[in-house]
Amino acid sequence: MAVLAAQAEYRNGRFNVKIVFVVDDNQTNLKSASDALENTYNVYTISSGMRMFKLAKKIMPDLILLDVEMPEMDGFETMERLKADGRLGQVPVIFLTARQDALTEMRGLELGALDFINKPFSPPILLKRIETHLGTDKLIKETKASLRDIQNAMISVLADMVENRDKDTGGHIERTQRYLDILVREMIRCGTYSDELEQWDINTLLPSAQLHDIGKIAISDLILNKPTKLTDEEFELIKTTPQLARKSSAA
């Protein structure tokens, strides 16, 4: 698996070449697409949806060109399975089809396809359409990353507000985040709860751990920093911080 992944990143003396899967049961169509794209992209020609899913366990595509009419599993069924897959669901898909009716195009777009390219296709047009969509996808990812950075900065500010109010828990929030990071990455390595972990956005989860004590914002400083033992009533109030945090996030 590691060798295949390394090979997928290298082509024509260059690393980080985009990977395109072409899925079609017609060998002539596969050859045409490969000839059109192989000098620009790392192209994998695949004869069925099932074979594509097997290959995708080893190599992650940047874009999928998907035929509509295929035996066993047609393009629409393949698309439905792709979108239901936590790992592959965000990979952009363009349908390749000889069909030119509105119902076919509408169904594909409803399933999440980016575009339709009619067969037989023009190689320059195929290249340009892929270039456009991969460029758009890159821009979307960069925008999401920028928004995530802003979100994480806001989380850090809120976490600092909480920690600075409680003089007895210095460094607790940072340690909790580090512990969670170690735990999650070890779960990934061991394959523990792998189906659930595939649905998680680790880049959002780990910074959000800083907010686990956010409910303390609603607790008086007199209680948080009380130098003597808390009364039973005060301790019960402290125990309500998870519920207070939940209400704050719901609002």
Q: Is 191 found in the same domain as 114? A: no
Cα dihedral: 200, 202, 207, 211 (round 10): 20
Tell me whether residue 163 is in a domain: yes
Distance CA 25, CA 153 (A): 48
Q: Is 99 found in the same domain as 191? A: no
Average pLDDT, the chain: 80
Domain-terminating residue out of 121, 140, 161: 121
Q: Is 111 found in the same domain as 9? A: yes
Tell me whether residue 133 is in a domain: no
Query: CATH number of the domain that 61 lies in?
Result: 3.40.50.2300
pLDDT digits (tens, 9 = 90+) for 4-55: 444 454 544 445 688 999 999 999 999 999 998 988 899 999 999 999 999 9
- Reported confidence tier of residue 77, pLDDT bands at 50, 70, 90: very high
Number of residues that this document lists for the chain: 251
Number of domains the chain contains = 2
Tell me whether residue 186 is in a domain: yes
Domain-terminating residue out of 121, 137, 170: 121
Whole-number pLDDT of residue 67: 93
Tell me whether residue 136 is in a domain: no
pTM above 0.75, yes or no: no
More confident residue, 169 or 97: 97
Q: Is 116 found in the same domain as 9? A: yes
Least confident of 11-20, 31-40, 150-159, 178-187: 11-20
Distance CA 152, CA 220 (A): 26
Q: Is 166 found in the same domain as 112? A: no
Query: CATH number of the domain that 211 lies in?
Result: 1.10.3210.10
Residue 216: how many other CB atoms lie within 10 Å: 19
Tell me whether residue 101 is in a domain: yes
Distance CA 123, CA 133 (A): 16
Q: Is 61 found in the same domain as 116? A: yes
Tell me whether residue 128 is in a domain: no
- Would you say 179 and 206 are in contact if contact means Cβ atoms under 8 Å apart? no
Tell me which residue range forms the domain holding 190.
Answer: 151-250
Q: Is 95 found in the same domain as 162? A: no
Distance CA 217, CA 11 (A): 54
Tell me whether residue 25 is in a domain: yes
Residue located via tokens 């991969």: 134
Q: Is 169 found in the same domain as 108? A: no
Whole-number pLDDT of residue 251: 54
Q: Is 96 found in the same domain as 7? A: yes
